[in-house]
Structure 1
Amino acid sequence: MLNFEELKNFLDEKADQYNTPDFIENDPIQIPHRFALKQDVEIAGFLSATISWGNRKAIIKSAEKMLAIMGNSPYDFVMNYSEKDLESIQEKSIHRTFNGQDFTYFIKQFNRIYTENKSLEDLFLIKDSETNFSHSIERFRTQFLGIEKHRTHKHVSSPYKNSSTKRIIMFLRWMVRQDKRGVDFGIWENIDQKYLSIPLDVHTGNISRKLGLIFRTQNDWKTVEELDLVIRKFDEKDPAKYDFALFGLGVTKELL
């Protein structure tokens, strides 16, 4: 087992290796990278992150389907759609269990949120006593989803229900991290990246266990916080950069 310094050096090296523009080509982050307008980036990013489970090629294809429906202008579409537009989407299949009904629900919610806010960032602001995004994600869920129960709520996970909320955490990394490497956008300037966590799924969880970074067996919110404690010791200002290292090690199967 590597000691602290060796492990940090190893992960720094891997993060550096994978955090390059080449990463974009095969990753769902390529979808928001097609836009320059902040709101377009946010909407395209949030939709792509929401459907990010399963095969990455399939995720990208499904995200492109959503972009095409929105005329490749997400912000303009969510602010100016007609009821007829929404009717035509209702019966479409989008990505696995995320269907046309879910997509229309998101479009309506985006319209309401952007009528009241300039950016989705306003819904994720961290409060003084907070150390991570758990409360912030919950506040976002309440504002974005509204009180009325809907089947779409299952597509926006909750840390309060002990979900790792992998897809929202990934979306937050895209929006918040600023490192001039060309992958993450860093367009949210009122949230410090020190609060970011690692998007935890089967792959990053398994790699983290192999490296001795975490010991809990479930990939849930408690494990996200367990991993936070370690990666923040490696780099308290930019802990989420280690997502690139864990992801890269998962893809190359270097540790198997």
Structure 2
Amino acid sequence: MAGLSPRISMTKAELKEFLNAKVEEYNHPKFLEDDPLQVPHKFALKEDIEISAFLTATIAWGNRKSIINNANKLMDLMGNSPYDFVMAHTAEDLSELSTFVHRTFNGIDLGYFVTSLQNIYLEHGGLETIFTQYQTKDSMQPAISEFKQLFFELPHQNRTQKHVSDPKKGSAAKRINMFLRWMVRDSSTGVDFGLWKGIAPSKLSCPLDVHSGNVARKLKLLKRKQNDAKALQELDKNLRKLDAVDPVKYDFALFGLGVFERF
């Protein structure tokens, strides 16, 4: 069934078979050739992977080639040692970041992100600790809201807050959900990292954007028209019916069908 153009009205079993085949096709190292996830794959140290992944996910909107180029530029600005840079940076180091820009994310935002990440590791035990501590029984969305509160506990410009989404304010929080997928899902296929062992993949949510949303609607996994927090809840519920243990593996299928196959 993998090579067929799917009928829109498939049975649940047919839909699962079709999507599982697409997951197998795209959850593969070749996926990294055009994906921003290639950037954190350049690192071996856990904290370097976390920080590079978080910053890459933060700027992951727009043209994918531009995202990859700018994420690599960002790593170069940090001496390709993001954790060392975050923990030991000086005011002069921060000033060298001031020229960075990706769409509406600029040097002011980047300077705050670096300062806040240092605070996260010094005062809160690091990124993994926060998300693990505030997870609920069946969702990571409350933890994302809590993370945003802690991330902006230092003095900052209001403009910077828009670069971290808050599910409690109705956002689907696509970029942080994508970052969590990268950190939590197992590494057996060489794509995601499986670094954070204290969070079950069953709690993850699909990074919902225009591509995955449109495909999900065509496959009748999603009725809601907006790509917001309520749509994410609906998609979560339907993907967990297909695989309760690893529902966000279907991100590969929805994304691949939308971006590569123009489904």
Q: What TM-score do the two structures reach when normalised by structure 2?
A: 0.93
Which of 186, 195, 209 lines up with 2:203 in the alignment?
195
In 2, distance between residues paired with 1:237 and 1:2?
A: 22
**C-alpha displacement of 1:52:** 0.4
Is 1:145–1:153's contact at 8 Å kept on the other side of the alignment? Answer: yes
Which residue matches 1:83? 91
- Corresponding residue of 1:57: 65
Identity %: 52
> In the alignment, is the contact (CA less than 8 A) between 1:65 and 1:94 conserved in 2?
no
RMSD value over aligned CA atoms?
A: 1.4
Ranked by relative contact order (alpha carbons within 8 Å, sequence separation 6 or more), the top structure is: 1
- For 1:35, the equivalent position in structure 2 comes to 43
| 2:121 aligned partner, one-letter code | Y
Q: Which runs of 5+ in 2 are unaligned?
A: 1-8
Counterpart Cα distance in 1 of 2:11 and 2:118: 50
Following superposition, the deviation at residue 65 of structure 1 comes to 1.1
Deviation of 1:113 after TM superposition, in Å, equals 1.1
Question: What is the Cα deviation at residue 114 of structure 1?
Answer: 1.1
2:150 to 131, 140, 143: 143
| CA distance in structure 2 between the partners assigned to 1:127 and 1:94 by the alignment | 31
* SS of 1:124 mapped into structure 2: helix
CA shift at 1:89, angstroms?
2.0
Alignment of 1:162-177 (within 5 A): 162-177=170-185
Question: Are 1:66 and 1:94, in contact at CA under 8 Å, matched by a contact in 2?
Answer: no
Alignment of 1:87-166 (within 5 A): 87-90=95-98, 92-125=99-132, 130-146=137-153, 148=155, 150=157, 151-166=159-174
Alignment of 1:169-248 (within 5 A): 169-248=177-256
Q: Deviations over 1:64-115 (max 9, x none)?
A: 111111000000011111111112322x132010000000000001111111
Distance 2:140 2:34 in 1: 27
Change (3 A) 1:101 1:214: same
Q: 1:52 to 1:136 in 2, by over 3 A?
A: same
What 5-or-longer segments of structure 1 have no aligned partner?
none
Aligned to 2:132, what secondary structure does the other structure show? coil
1:73 aligns with 2:77: no
Instruction: State how far apart, in whole Å, the 1-side matches of 2:138 and 2:233 are.
Output: 10
1:126–1:133 contact (8 Å) kept in structure 2: no
Q: CA separation in 2, counterparts of 1:129 and 1:74?
A: 30
How many residue pairs get aligned? The number is 254
